[in-house]
A and B are shown apart, each in its own frame.
Chain A
């Protein structure tokens, strides 16, 4: 029992190591999928005008992913295993982040910005750079037992908090900027629920190729100065990718109730704009992270956009010590007291 308690304490005090174990597999899988899509969609080069900021720093020869890029798949597997287990962990994390900046950027040039992996790839970069990431790893074990035996006096004690805080800041910024974008592009009328109602029912797969991708043109733009056309295109739409009949029925049910979509729209904006309060204390932090987890799960159910990376990151950023105290009964409180005393 004591052994299990020690493991729990160790895990709770090292969320960055847990995150380091969980994320690399997911990011490597995304890179693998993106490489396949790039290759099988005859995407032979990235035009200069569609390069991302990061791709502008790369030589053109690195932006072609033909059959010869098989070595990338091997590199992906090696780096995913290395990063997750912590074997040359920081180097593997750096390489994985770099690869996703490169491949995800090329994928964006193809037309699709993967918002799921845009956060997780940055989190990998952060994990490669901040202290505390490697506390539960093969690297740490080897260093402690064979190279420097006096390395750590209190192996279960918490690492510096700034790494975890940085990840939290990036997460907060992401949600906040999503709220800002809705008001910036949609205005206050975004709260009337019409936009949400539209997307809940925009099942692109129900339409033939050639009729799936819509562009949005708003009349307000037509009154301003523009010179490309007489229409005033503003944006492309996104789609609902849910294919399960039961979930589609649920989405339709929600979309057909104006009071519901208005309420969800207002709650969404309030939620996204108030993320900064997670820095007040761990209680707010946990409430928001759990709410984000539930929100992404619901978006997954209603729209087929599950945002697994976000949900994993939210779970790892929870203050699990507080969770223990709140929901763990007497055992949890005792354990939490031990964690705090370290």
Chain B
């Protein structure tokens, strides 16, 4: 009898252990390996949808250079890491990470850390002295043909170790 009761309790503990994080990720709409809300292909892409390429452009030795050759990993890894884990989507909950809240302070801290890490990496692995990094977005069509001039959305200044968003700067 006692053995049966223990087996029953054990069964429900295993169910809870496995299902609780899966159900939580599903309801909240986040993912944190191995738990996922399965956002693959979920965001709508139609004729009117804005598609963008992200560009990191560094001021080094008095000229601006594209940082893509310095990613040292496939571009998709670099940009997905940056977008999913660092930048995050608009809104409090992003489908591509496990964060349950978002605010300007957290965003600022992540951006500062990311750029600080990257400038250190570029210095130590490529001897690339960076003074400033511009973050630009280029609106493109599905074949990657630019539809507009690159838009500067923010920059990182190594002097202040701070990322500055240009949101609202033109208003």
Interface residues, chain A, with chain B CB atoms under 8 Å away: 41-43, 47, 49-50, 52-54, 100-101, 104-105, 107-115, 117-119, 121-122, 125-126, 129-130, 162, 166, 169-170, 173-174, 176-178, 180-182, 184-187, 189-190, 192, 194-196, 198-199, 201-202, 204, 207, 209-219, 221, 224, 226-239
> Cβ of A214 and Cβ of B37 under 8 Å apart?
no
Indicate if the CB atoms of B36 and A115 lie closer than 8 Å: yes
Distance in angstroms between the alpha carbons of A177 and B36 in the assembled complex: 8
Contact of B61 with A by CB under 8 A: no
- Partner of A187 from the list B15, B44, B72 (CB cut-off 8 Å) is B44
Question: Per-residue CB proximity of B112-128 to A under 8 Å, as 1/0?
Answer: 01100100010001000
Which A residue sits closest to B34, measured CB to CB? A118
Q: Is the CB of B83 within 8 A of A233?
A: yes
Please determine whether A210 and B35 come into contact, CB atoms closer than 8 angstroms. Answer: no
Interfacial chain B residues near A107, Cβ < 8 Å: 33
| B66 and chain A: residue at smallest CB distance | A210
A224, B98: Cα distance in complex, Å: 23
CB contact between A185 and one of B44, B51, B75, B166 (< 8 Å): that residue = B44
Supplied contacts A166-B19, A178-B38, A210-B55, 17 more A-B pairs, CB within 8 Å = A41-B73, A47-B110, A105-B32, A112-B76, A118-B34, A166-B18, A177-B26, A198-B46, A209-B75, A213-B54, A216-B52, A218-B43, A221-B90, A227-B167, A228-B167, A229-B166, A230-B167
State which of B53, B72, B82 has its C-beta within 8 Å of the C-beta of A211.
B53
A194 contacts across to B, CB distance below 8 A: 44-47
Interface centre among B48, B68, B79, B85 (most CB of A within 10 A): B85
> Are A185 and B95 in contact (CB-based, < 8 A)?
yes
Q: Which chain B residues lie closer than 8 Å to A49 at the CB level?
A: 85-86, 106, 109-110, 113
Residue of B nearest to A201 (CB): B142
Q: A41-B73, A216-B45 are in contact. Are A234 and B37 (CB under 8 A)?
A: no
A184 contact set on B, CB distance < 8 A: 29, 42
Neighbour of B36 across the interface among A118, A186, A214, CB < 8 A: A118
Chain B residue numbers with a CB within 8 Å of A177 are 22, 25-26, 36-38
Q: List residues of chain A with CB within 8 A of the CB of B165.
A: 227-229
Residues from chain A with Cβ under 8 Å of B22 in the complex: 122, 170, 173-174, 177
Chosen A-B contacts, 20 in total, with CB atoms closer than 8 Å, are A41-B72, A49-B86, A119-B34, A121-B34, A173-B26, A174-B22, A177-B38, A185-B42, A190-B42, A194-B47, A195-B44, A213-B54, A216-B52, A226-B91, A226-B167, A227-B104, A227-B165, A228-B165, A234-B89, A236-B96
- B1 CB-CB contact with A under 8 Å: no
Chain A residue nearest in CB terms to B89: A234
Does B9 have its Cβ within 8 Å of any Cβ on chain A?
A: no
Is B77 touching A112 in the complex (CB atoms < 8 A)? yes
Which one of A110, A187, A231 lies within 8 Å of B137 (CB-CB)?
A231
| B11-A162 in contact (CB<8A) | yes
Known contacts A104-B33, A181-B38, A211-B53; decide if A53 and B45 are in contact (CB<8 Å).
no
By beta carbon, the residue of chain B nearest A125 is B18
Interface 1/0 per residue, B66-106 and A, CB below 8 Å: 10100011111111111111111111000111100000101
- Interface check B14, CB cutoff 8 A: yes
In chain B, what residue has the closest Cβ to A48? B113
Q: Which residues of A contact B109 (CB under 8 A)?
A: 49
A186 touches B154 (CB 8 A): no
Q: Are B45 and A210 in contact (CB-based, < 8 A)?
A: no
Q: Which among A105, A212, A215 is the interface contact of B33 at CB below 8 angstroms?
A: A105
**Chain B residues with CB below 8 A from A213, complex form:** 53-54, 75-76, 79-80
| Interface pair B34/A117, CB less than 8 Å apart | yes
B40-A115 in contact (CB<8A): yes
Residue of B whose beta carbon sits closest to that of A221: B90
Cβ B68 vs Cβ A229 within 8 A: no
Rounded to whole Å, the gap between the CB of B143 and the closest CB of chain A is 9
